[in-house]
Structure formats: C-alpha cells, structure tokens
C-alpha cells in the first residue's frame, strides 16, 4: 500500500508540472516594418516586446553552446537585396546563469532586429523567424512564425 501512495504522489506531481508548463503562454509581441532611410535604402525591422520577467537570448548568446539564438530568414525577392547581417538593438545583458558555463548574452523588455536592404519598388517582404523565450524558471519550446511586410 505504501508503494502505491508513493507512486500516486509521483504521478500527480508530474501531471501538475506538465499542466503548468502547457498553460504557460508565449506573450511576446512581434511586429515588422520597412523603414525608408533614403532613396531605395531601407531598414527591415522586427520589433520584439517581452513581458516583464522574460528574456530572449542574443543572436550570439555565449554560454556553453546549448542556448537557442533567435534567427530571421528572408524569402528570396527580386526587388530586395539584403545588405550585411541582422543587427540587434536593445539593452544587452551579459551574466552568468546557474547551470550554464560562461557568460550568457540576452535581452529583456524590448529589442529590435534590424536588416539593411536595398528595395527597388513596391513589394511584399516575407520570411520566418525562430526564437525561444525564457524566464528564471523555464524556457518555452522554440517557436517558428511567418511574417510579411508591405513596402509601398
């Protein structure tokens, strides 16, 4: 009888933890825009707003190599020529985290991902972005979403 009670307690604990993890919602807000700089020079900007207590790792997250960095992929478009790589803009936090060797680079609050581009006429830019957000207790599963930006 005692082993049954222990088994039942373990099962209930597991189910409670699983239910909690499934109920945690990704409340990050992503918006995209194409901002004209001059002539046909633009910045394609992904704005990310995170709920208090959540963070996203930097594109170069540091640490021990196990962290999932965000990435943005642009679909081929003959009217769009990307220049350089995506730049991050926000308040970078570099710190040691328990269980991870080396300094970890991350952002909380807001961060912009900026891609310079030459755009030669009205078009729609499409692509996808992959990311993972975490708080002090857990990380949500990696997520991939699609985006589109109209350029007039």
Q: pLDDT (tens digit, 9 = 90+) per residue, 125-150?
A: 999 999 999 999 999 999 999 999 99
Contact of 125 with 149, CB cutoff 8 Å: yes
Domain tally, the chain: 1
CB count, 10 Å around CB of 27? 11
Q: Is 15 inside a domain boundary? A: no
Residue 79: give the domain boundaries. 26-151
Q: Specify the 3-state DSSP secondary structure of 5.
A: helix
Give pTM, 2 decimals: 0.84
Q: Is 131 inside a domain boundary? A: yes
Q: Is 127 inside a domain boundary? A: yes
Per-residue confidence band for 98, with pLDDT thresholds at 50, 70 and 90: confident
Residue 87's domain is classified under what CATH number? 2.60.40.1250
Q: Is 18 inside a domain boundary? A: no
């Amino acid at each position: 009888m005692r082993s049954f009670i222990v088994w039942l307690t373990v099962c209930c604990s597991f189910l409670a933890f699983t239910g909690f993890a499934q109920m945690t919602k990704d409340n990050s807000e992503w918006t995209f825009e194409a901002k004209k700089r001059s002539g046909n020079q633009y910045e394609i900007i992904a704005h990310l707003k995170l709920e208090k207590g959540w963070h996203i790792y930097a594109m170069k997250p540091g640490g021990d190599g196990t962290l999932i960095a965000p990435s943005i992929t642009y679909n081929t478009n003959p009217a769009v020529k990307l220049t350089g790589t995506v730049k991050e803009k926000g308040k970078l936090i570099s710190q040691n985290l328990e269980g991870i060797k080396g300094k970890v680079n991350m952002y909380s609050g807001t961060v912009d991902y900026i891609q310079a581009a030459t755009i030669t006429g009205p078009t729609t830019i499409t692509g996808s972005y992959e990311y993972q957000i975490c708080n002090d207790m857990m990380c949500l599963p990696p997520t991939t979403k699609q985006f589109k930006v109209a350029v007039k």
